[in-house]
Amino acid sequence: MTKQTKLFKGIASALALTASVSAWAVEDQDFSSMQMQGVEQVEVKVDLEGAAQRLSQAVQFPTISNQDRSDFDEEAFNNYHDFLVESYPLVHKTLKRELVGDPRPFSLIYTWEGKDPSLPPAVFMAHQDVVPIAEESRDQWEVEPFSGEIKDGYIWGRGSLDDKNQIHAILEATEMKIKEGFQPERTILFVFGHDEEVGGPEGAKHAADIIEQRYDKIAFVIDESAPLIPGVFPGIRDNTALIGIAQKGYVSLEIAINGIGGHSSQPAGESNIVALAKAVEKVEAAQFPYKIHDAVRYQYRFMGPELPEDQQPMYKAVAYGENDSISDLEQKFIDVMSQNQVTRAMLHTTTAVTMFNAGIKDNVLPPAATAVVNFRPMPGDTPEVIIEHVKKAIGDERITVRDISASTPATNVADPNGEGYKMLEKTIRQTWGNDLIVSPFFVIGGSDSKHFQARDFAPDVYTITALQLENVKEFEGFHGVNERILVDEYGRSIGFFYKLMDNLENL
């Protein structure tokens, strides 16, 4: 039995336990489908063979973001930038290109001037960098990870799915539009960060700082997130396009002890390693409480009516509940969702012990030991709140706690009823048809757009990877082995951005 099947059955069981529900204001709310109807699918003709070859070549540049930031391959990024200039001549003739970043200027801002400079611009985002290849996984790859090989109808390699496909789909569409004589009504900015995989503190954050100084407001932002995947959400077998409307924050804390080391033949009553291990265990045990966020309520306002009818009372309660109280049905929702690691993460600030370091020799007691714990905060759980929570959980003055990350708070929530969301749904349906469910969702990870979405000058930031995957298993290539995308689906991604540029004219 799959996790999704178990979760589906768990939901049904939870509802069966609720024999009756008292009357409340939620019952008066409309809970009918909010799916857009009657959108005509549009085929956009692209140079698919040429586009696939260009993406294949792009994958061959190992633009890796390592956790150790001193390990940075400047040549790979410089060569990739030269390749972009060579591959998209009209883009680089028409748009202004800037290299930005602090301290390393390897992120790209492209400015496509609009006809009406009074209109707030739109921002299209993607990132150049990729995660490393784990050495122990190399023999599991069917192709060399940076070969960009095209075989069996796929483009293979690190970055083909995350996230060079989106950079190149945007640039392919732009090259096409410029060749046709198109100029956008409003200015469009492309922001391609170089360190998204380590939080974007050098690249996208710096780009957001620059853009905030230039513009009072950004009308629309699109960045990567979840691709279109059938069966990705429990209870829905249909194809689903999830549009991120908010993102959790990011905080990493170093938990450390510095004491007296010595010879292993004369151990103290408690070693530094044991003391730190106990502290980390306390932190992991002190989980943050569950709560239902506004973005989750919006998600079930759109998705709930598409789920089986016997589940809808619970989802309706979630969609229209109050944040300062939890009803019986909402508690059932929390009880069920907390049994699945993905849906559980939507409901609280998560705690993940990710690194532990101590000792240099088998007969030496280390004088210090450190651990790193990564948190993905819900709104309201600031770094200060998390640090205080951790210190209280540990309750040991020997242990120090400090923030070692480019911490970012949970973001604002984009409007799922606004014109930007509607334009995005229309473009999705024009590209992939109407036989799919489109819904907002709360992003438990994060992307470079968080550096815009956490600021008031960019109120409507939406995230989706504009690419259709065949099944959930294909998503395992995201940071995993055998990362690949279908050539034909890459062509549709280019068509998506082509149509999005048209639809922006009516925003």
Final residue belonging to a domain, choices 352, 369, 403: 403
Q: Is the pLDDT of residue 441 over 90?
A: yes
Regarding whether 295 and 382 lie in a shared domain, the answer is yes
Residue 28 lies in a domain: no
Nearest to 126 by CA among 166, 172, 81: 166
For residue 64, tell me if it sits in a domain: yes
257, 246 Cβ separation under 8 angstroms: no
Let me know whether 418 and 347 are in one domain: no
Distance CA 410, CA 377 (A): 6
**Do residue 258 and residue 238 come from a single domain?**
no
Asked if 399 and 417 sit in the same domain, the reply is: no
Q: What are phi and psi of 484, to 5 degrees?
A: -165, 160
What is the rounded distance in angstroms from the CA atom of residue 216 to the CA atom of residue 407? 24
Mean pLDDT calculated for residue range 61-89: 96
Reading the block at residue 256, the tokens are 């450390």
Confidence of residue 474 (pLDDT cuts 50, 70, 90): confident
Report which residue type is found at 282.
K
pLDDT of residue 12 exceeding 50, the answer is no
Q: Are residues 319 and 465 in the same domain?
A: no
Checking if the pLDDT of 2 tops 70, the result is: no
pLDDT more than 70, % of the chain: 94
Confidence band (pLDDT; 50, 70, 90) for 234?
low
Structure letter (DSSP) for residue 186: S
Residue 262 lies inside a defined structural domain of this protein: yes
Q: What is the residue type of 335?
A: D
- 332 DSSP 8-state letter: H
Instruction: Say what percent of the chain tops pLDDT 90.
Output: 80
pLDDT above 50 for 16: no
As a whole number, mean pLDDT of residues 195-217 equals 96
Distance separating alpha carbons of residues 311 and 296, to the nearest angstrom:
16
Q: 47 burial class (0-12, 13-18, 19+ CB within 10 angstroms)?
A: middle
Do 375 and 275 fall within a single domain? yes
CATH number at residue 377: 3.30.70.360
pLDDT, one tens digit per residue, over 305-323 is 999 899 999 999 999 999 8
Q: For the chain, give percent helix, strand, coil, nearest 5.
A: 40, 20, 40
341 alpha-carbon distance from chain centroid: 16
Catalytic residue flag (residue 86) = no
Burial label, 145 (beta-carbon count in 10 A; 0-12, 13-18, 19+): buried
Give residue 321's identity as a one-letter amino acid code.
Answer: G
pLDDT band (50, 70, 90) for residue 409:
confident
Q: Is there a single domain that holds both residue 386 and residue 495? A: no
Number of domains in the chain: 2
- Higher per-residue pLDDT: 268 or 311: 311
d(CA 409, CA 323): 19
Mean pLDDT of the chain: 92
CATH code for position 209 = 3.40.630.10
pLDDT of 25: 63
Handedness of CA 309, 19, 9, 300 (dihedral sign): positive
| pLDDT at site 43 | 95
- Is residue 288 a contact partner of residue 403, using CB atoms and an 8 Å limit? no
Residues 414 and 461: beta-carbon distance below 8 Å: yes
Question: Among this protein's residues, is 196 annotated catalytic?
Answer: yes
Q: Is residue 9 part of a domain?
A: no
Whether residue 256 lies inside any domain: the answer is: yes
Residue 23 lies in a domain: no
Query: Do the domain assignments include residue 179?
Result: yes
Q: What is the pLDDT of residues 345-392, one digit of tens each?
A: 999 999 999 999 999 899 988 999 999 999 999 988 999 999 999 999
Q: Do 287 and 349 have their domain in common? A: yes
Both tokens of residue 225? 């997130």
Beta strands in 181-250, from DSSP E residues, in sequence order: 188-193, 220-223, 229-230, 239-247
Say if residue 385 is in the same domain as residue 466.
no
Where in the sequence is the domain holding 241, given as residue range(s)?
48-246+411-505
Mean pLDDT of 261-266: 73
- Which residues are within 8 A (CB) of 148 and not within 5 positions of it... i.e. 6 or more apart? 55, 56, 57, 58, 59, 60, 155, 156, 157, 160
Mean pLDDT (whole number) for 389-412: 93
Whether residue 292 is contained in a domain is answered as: yes
Give the type of residue at 503: N
Contact 59, 164 (CB under 8 A): yes
Kindly state the tokens that stand for 12: 């049904």
CA angle 431/468/144 to nearest 5° reads 135
Spatial distance between the Cα atoms of 185 and 313, rounded to a whole number of angstroms = 44
Same domain, 96 and 169: yes
Residues 291 and 326: their CA atoms lie apart, in Å, by 8
For the entire predicted model, the pTM comes to 0.90
- pLDDT value at residue 458: 96
DSSP character for 194? S
- The 10s digit of each residue's pLDDT in 142-197 is 999 999 999 999 999 999 999 999 999 999 999 999 999 999 999 999 999 999 99
DSSP-derived secondary structure for 352-403 = EEEEEEE-SSTTEE-SEEEEEEEEEPPTT--HHHHHHHHHHHH--TTEEEEE
Structural contact between residues 166 and 493, judged by C-beta atoms closer than 8 angstroms: yes
148: left (phi over 0), alpha (psi -120 to 50) or beta: left
Neighbours of 40 (CB within 10 A): 9
Judged against a pLDDT cut of 60, whether residue 252 lies above it is answered with: yes
Cα gap 493→212, rounded to integer Å: 29
Tokens standing for residue 355:
């690194």
Same domain as 427, residue 380: no
Report the C-alpha gap between 379 and 175 in whole angstroms: 40
Rg (CA), the chain: 24
If residue 450 lies in a helix (H) or strand (E), which one and from where to where?
A: helix 450-453
What is the average pLDDT across 405-411?
86
Domain end call among 370, 403, 436: 403
Regarding whether 158 and 175 lie in a shared domain, the answer is: yes
- Rounded mean pLDDT of 31-36? 96
pLDDT at position 343 is 85
Q: Which of 149, 163, 196, 224 is catalytic?
A: 196
Region 100-121: what's the mean pLDDT? Answer: 97
Give the number of other CB atoms < 10 A from CB of residue 382: 15
Q: Do residues 428 and 227 lie in contact, with contact meaning Cβ atoms separated by under 8 Å?
A: no
Q: Looking at 373, 403, 433, which one is the last position of a domain?
A: 403
